[in-house]
Structure 1
Amino acid sequence: MGKCKYCGNDAGLFHSKHTDCEQRHLNGIARIKKILADCFDSKEDFYLHQNEIRSICLESYLSEDTCRNIYCQVFDSAIEKYLDDGIIDAKEEGTVARFIQFSELPQHLLNANKSLERVVQSKVIQELLNGQIPAPKITISGNFPFLLGKNEHMLWLFRDVTLQMQKVRRETVGRTRGVSVRVCKGVYYRTGGFRGRPVETTYMQHIGTGSVCLTDKNLYFHCPEKTLKIPFSKILSLDPYSNGLGVQKDGANDKPMFFENLNSWFCYNVISNLK
Structure 2
Amino acid sequence: MGQCIYCGKPAGFLKKKHKKCEQQHEKGKSEIISLVGKIGAAGGDLHQLERSIERVASMSFIDKNTLKSLLVSGWERAVNIAFDDGLLSEKEESALIELKEHFALPEEILDKNGAYSKLEKGAVLRDIMNGTLPERIKIDVSLPFNFQKTEKVVWVFQGVNYYEEKTRTRYVGGSQGFSIRIAKGLYYRTGAFKGERVQTSETVYADTGLLGITNKHIYFAGSVKRFRIAYNKIVTFEPFSDGIGIQRDAQTVRPQLFETGDGWFTYNLIRNLAQL
Do they superpose with TM above 0.5? yes
Match of 2:104 in 1: 104
Task: Report the AA paired with residue 123 of structure 1.
Answer: A
Aligned residue number for residue 263 of structure 1: 262
Task: Give 3-state SS (helix, strand or coil) of 1:166's partner.
Answer: strand
Alignment of 1:1-275 (within 5 A): 1-141=1-141, 143-176=142-175, 193-275=192-274
- Match of 2:105, SS state, is coil
CA distance in 1, matches of 2:177, 2:260: 54
**Contact map agreement 1:178 1:193 (CA 8 A) in 2:** no
Q: Report the 3-state secondary structure (helix = DSSP H, G, I; strand = E; otherwise coil) of the residue aligned with 2:175.
A: strand
Q: Per the alignment, in what secondary structure is the counterpart of residue 212 of structure 1?
A: strand
Structure 1's 65 and 196: CA in aligned 2 closer, same or farther, altered over 3 A?
Answer: farther
- The equivalent of 2:184 in structure 1 is none
Query: Normalising by the residue count of structure 2, what TM-score does the alignment of the two structures yield?
Result: 0.87
Q: Is the 8 A contact 2:32 2:74 kept in 1?
A: no
User: What runs of 5+ residues in structure 1 fail to find an aligned partner?
Assistant: 182-188
Q: How big is each residue's C-alpha offset from its partner over 1:119-176, in whole Å with a ceiling of 9 and x where there is no partner?
A: 22222222222322221141414x4222211121111111111111111110001142
CA distance in 1, matches of 2:146, 2:9: 64
- Percentage of identical aligned residues: 30
Contact 2:33 2:77 in 1 (8 A): no
Q: What stretches of structure 2 of length at least 5 have no aligned partner? A: 181-186
RMSD of equivalent CA atoms: 2.4
Question: Is the Cα contact below 8 Å between 1:135 and 1:153 reproduced in 2?
Answer: no
1:89-135 Cα deviation digits (max 9, x unpaired): 12111111111112311101111222211222222222222322221
Return 216-225 or 73-82, whichever deviates more. Answer: 73-82
DSSP-derived class of the 2:48 partner = helix
Q: CA deviation at 1:180?
A: 7.6
> 2:5 and 2:248 mapped to 1: Cα distance?
60
Residue 20 of structure 1 aligns to which amino acid in structure 2? Answer: K
Q: Is the 8 A contact 1:3 1:10 kept in 2?
A: yes
